[in-house]
């Protein structure tokens, strides 16, 4: 028996890598004053049918539950956020800066690197129409990637403005009913043959490609770039009107993050969705909003591909995983004494491991090395003394067993301040 196709088992090494990503996501989001929340992984299918593009509904993991409800494993967080914010609108001072780390699901055709689940960080600002919020959000996205040891040489945030294109379509007298379809075509233009895009764009083909070539400009995009410049982040961003984003609900500023080498799909993406909350609440609540999402799969591949980032991850994982103390039980007559002290050390917060059953001493020292223990404490013929061995220096000393707690405390105080 195996896991379902597209679903991952996280063995200890993979789980540690996942947790490394989560920890940095959480740490930087909180540095920016973002507050954590979470929604359900199962939602009424209607929530997605109503608000997302057609593409997403085709790819839902959806079913009818035993209570005849149409339900779906969530493919994205934004509709849930809109639902929650609408329901609890009066309980919080605006603007909200909220983030969430959770799992998302899509029933996609199996392809290389395309899973059916992934974890995602979502960061959103609700209730602020000012461009200052867009700047804060993009800065957060950049700093999160920097926390993994990535630099402006490794990734770029491509920033665009949907208004640039809707203004263009308005000028060309295109009826708003067709905008969504044309925006999707522009979004895909970089990934599709020109003929295919031309079919969809018709007489707009030449002006669109001309704009894509010369690059768009707008006062809003300039201001955004200035705001990031003030924070010293100018080198991380590029204005690129070719970015439109596939989801139907975006308005205003949109952005996607790519590795500079161009080897991977987007690392993160997001933008403004000023109308979504109003739509979802059938007009009851109107609130501007913006956010981005970053998945663990592409990010994990990017980290692996950049030696500096990969090494930083391996180092952090190894140090995080370390056991403090390993108990070597050389004489089984001393096991009970050892376990009494083991409990006392664990109660004081130390990570302590030991062999569950009688084991040869060299094998126990090997186990101590394997778990990265700083100290080995040997219970044997020396009792009522115990032998304390510092594994880094191989230095050994004998101490009275009832002085062990103090001695251990001293050792770890010195090494933590060193």
Residue 11 touching a copy of itself (CB under 8 A): yes
Q: Nearer to a copy of itself by C-beta: 230 or 403?
A: 230
Q: Which of residues 86-105 bind a copy of itself (CB under 8 A)?
A: 86-88, 91, 93, 95, 97-98, 103, 105
* Contact assessment for residue 263 and residue 241, using Cβ atoms and an 8 Å cutoff: no
Cβ 375 to a copy of itself, closest distance in Å? 14
Q: Rounded distance, CA 243 to CA 183, Å?
A: 10
* Residues ≥6 apart with Cβ < 8 Å to 150: 302, 303, 306, 309
1 lines the binding site for a copy of itself (CB under 8 A): yes
**Which stretch, 56-64, 175-183, 254-262, 391-399, contacts a copy of itself (CB under 8 A)?**
56-64
Q: Which residues of 395-408 are buried (b: 16+ CB within 10 A; e: fewer)?
A: eeeebebeebeebb
Q: Applying CB under 8 A, does 296 fall inside the site for a copy of itself?
A: no
Cα–Cα distance for residue pair 271/408, rounded to 1 Å: 52
* Residues within window 329-388 making contact with a copy of itself, judged by CB under 8 A: 336, 339-340, 342-344, 346-347, 349-354, 356-357, 370-371
Q: With CB under 8 A as the contact rule, which of the stretches 136-144, 151-159, 162-170, 379-387 interacts with a copy of itself?
A: 136-144
| Residues in 155-214 that interact with a copy of itself by CB under 8 A | none
Q: Which of 196, 321, 360, 410 binds a copy of itself (CB under 8 A)?
A: 321
Residues 6+ apart with CB under 8 A from 177: none
Helix axes 296-305, 307-321, angle to 10 degrees: 110
Does the protein bind a copy of itself through residue 17 (CB under 8 A)? no
Closer residue to a copy of itself in complex, CB, 177/283: 283
- Site stretch for a copy of itself (CB under 8 A), options 43-51, 170-178, 193-201, 293-301: 43-51
Determine if 8 is a binding residue for a copy of itself (CB under 8 A): yes
- Residue 307 CB, nearest approach to a copy of itself (Å): 23
Rounded to the nearest 10 degrees, how much is the dihedral formed by the CA atoms of 82, 86, 88, 90? Answer: 130
Using CB under 8 A as the binding rule, whether residue 410 contacts a copy of itself is answered as no
Q: Is 54 in the site for a copy of itself (CB under 8 A)?
A: no
**Binding of a copy of itself at residue 132 (CB under 8 A)?**
yes
Question: With CB under 8 A, what is the number of residues at the site for a copy of itself?
Answer: 91
Is it true that the peptide bond before 111 is cis, omega within 30 degrees of 0? no
**Helix pair 12-31, 131-146: axis angle to 10 deg:** 140
Q: By CB under 8 A, is residue 71 in contact with a copy of itself?
A: yes
Query: Which two three-digit tokens encode residue 50?
Result: 């109503």
List the one residue out of 341, 355, 348, 347 whose CA is nearest residue 384: 341
Query: Closest CB to a copy of itself among 87 and 397?
Result: 87
User: What gap in Å lies between CA 348 and CA 353, rounded to an integer?
Assistant: 14
The burial of 368, by beta-carbon neighbours within 10 Å (0-12 exposed, 13-18 middle, 19 or more buried), is given as buried
Q: What's the min distance (Å) between Cβ of 183 and a copy of itself?
A: 26
Per-residue binding letters, 219-238, with a copy of itself (x by CB under 8 A): --------x--xxxx-----
Backbone angles phi, psi at 265, to 5 degrees: -70, 180
CB-nearer residue toward a copy of itself: 7 or 207: 7
- For the bound state, the minimum distance from the C-beta of residue 31 to a copy of itself, rounded and expressed in Å, comes to 5
Compare residues 117 and 301 and give the one whose CB is closer to a copy of itself.
Answer: 117
| H or E stretch at 42 | strand 42-44
């Amino acid at each position: 028996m195996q896991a379902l196709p597209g679903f991952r088992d996280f063995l200890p090494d993979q789980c540690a890598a996942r947790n490394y990503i989560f920890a940095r996501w959480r740490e930087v989001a909180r540095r920016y004053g973002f507050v954590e929340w979470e929604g359900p992984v199962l939602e009424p299918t209607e929530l997605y049918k109503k608000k997302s593009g057609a593409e997403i509904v085709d790819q839902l993991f959806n079913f009818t539950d035993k209570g005849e409800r149409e339900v779906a494993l969530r493919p994205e967080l934004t509709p849930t956020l809109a639902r929650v914010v609408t329901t609890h609108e009066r309980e919080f001072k605006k603007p909200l800066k909220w983030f969430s780390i959770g799992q998302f699901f899509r029933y996609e055709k199996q392809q290389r690197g395309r899973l059916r689940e992934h974890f995602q960080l979502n960061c959103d600002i609700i209730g602020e129409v000012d461009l200052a919020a867009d700047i804060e959000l993009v800065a957060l996205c950049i700093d999160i990637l920097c926390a993994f040891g990535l630099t402006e040489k490794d990734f770029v945030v491509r920033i665009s403005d949907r208004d640039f294109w809707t203004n263009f379509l308005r000028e060309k007298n295109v009826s708003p009913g067709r905008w969504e379809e044309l925006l999707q075509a522009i979004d895909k233009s970089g990934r599709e043959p020109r003929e295919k895009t031309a079919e969809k764009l018709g007489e707009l083909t030449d002006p669109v490609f001309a704009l894509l070539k010369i690059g768009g400009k707008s006062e809003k995009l300039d201001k955004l770039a200035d705001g990031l410049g003030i924070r010293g982040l100018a080198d991380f961003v590029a204005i690129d009107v070719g970015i439109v984003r596939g989801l139907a609900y975006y308005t205003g500023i949109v952005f996607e993050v790519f590795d500079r080498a161009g080897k991977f799909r987007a690392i993160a993406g997001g933008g403004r969705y000023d109308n979504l909350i109003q739509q979802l609440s059938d007009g009851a609540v109107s609130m501007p909003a913006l956010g981005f999402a970053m998945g663990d799969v592409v990010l994990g591949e990017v980290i692996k591909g950049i030696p500096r980032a990969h090494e930083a991850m391996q180092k952090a994982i190894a140090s995080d995983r370390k056991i403090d103390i390993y108990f070597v039980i050389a004489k089984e007559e001393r096991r009970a004494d050892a376990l009494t002290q083991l409990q006392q050390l664990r109660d004081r917060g130390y990570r302590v491991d030991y062999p569950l059953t009688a084991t040869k001493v060299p094998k126990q020292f090997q186990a101590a090395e394997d778990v990265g223990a700083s100290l080995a404490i040997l219970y044997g013929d020396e009792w009522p003394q115990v032998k304390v061995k510092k594994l880094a220096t191989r230095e050994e000393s004998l101490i009275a067993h009832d002085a062990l707690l103090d001695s251990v405390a001293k050792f770890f105080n010195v090494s933590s301040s060193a």
